[in-house]
Amino acid sequence: MTFEAMQKKVATYLDEKRYAHVLRVVEMAEKLAERHGVSVERAKTAALLHDVAKNMPKEELRQAIEQSGRDLEVLTFHHELWHAKVGAIIARDEFGIEEECILDAIRYHTTGRAQMTSLEMVIYLADLVEEGRNFPTVEQLRQVAFDEVLENAMAIAIRHSIQFLASKSVAIYPDSFECYNEHMLKKGK
């Protein structure tokens, strides 16, 4: 399937606001991939599909995760995380994406994880700092995403995410802690 064909198909899954976000993430992912020496084609594909399940009803997301038999632990956490896991399933089953690196970039774009690939970090960052995002430290995080080595940018981004979630007093998915701890331990060496 061509990128343009995927784009048209993705648009049928999402409302207008979410689709606009996806296109901004594609644009940011392309820039970050170029900056950090990551495959632009893979980054654009993962970015295009990263939120493909975002507008699905909660119960459909639950069913898809249960049927997959994978990532079941996510069901005990806030449903906002579920779309990433289901998005990887849809990318594989309905868009024909077979490259595990693209599927993982979709699967972990909300939580991060330990031992992230460069592609996964690019998608995580692109989603966090796309041009439509508007939170107090977004400009600094955008600058970091381009100016820092990719691993350093990810360390700063995951620290931001952990702090934000903790400030909201919500449960934090274990993959996010593992990602954070990995980066902090590397920094401490």
Span 13-53, pLDDT tens digits:
999 999 999 999 999 999 999 999 999 999 999 999 999 99
Residue 62 token pair: 């639950």
Place of tokens 């249960």: 66
Q: 61 to each of 12, 39, 134, how far by Cα in Å?
A: 17, 29, 27
| Structure confidence at residue 1 (pLDDT) | 87
CB-based contact 54:75 (threshold 8 Å): no
| Structure confidence at residue 187 (pLDDT) | 76
CB-based contact 154:121 (threshold 8 Å): yes
Contacts 24+ apart (CB under 8 A), 155-159: 155/183, 155/184, 155/186, 155/187, 157/124, 157/125, 157/128, 157/129, 158/112, 158/124, 158/183, 159/183, 159/184
Residue 3 token pair: 């990128």
| Structure confidence at residue 189 (pLDDT) | 55
Query: What does the longest C-alpha to C-alpha distance in the chain come to?
Result: 47
Which domains are seen in the chain, by residue range? 3-188 (1.10.3210.10)
- pTM for this model (two decimals): 0.96
65-82: average pLDDT? 95
For 158-179, give one letter per residue: b (16+ CB within 10 A) or e.
bebbbeeeeeeeeebbebbbbb
Residue 56 pLDDT > 90, yes or no?
Answer: yes
Interval 173-185: pLDDT, tens: 999 999 999 999 9
Phi and psi (nearest 5°) for 56?
-75, 145
| Structure confidence at residue 112 (pLDDT) | 97
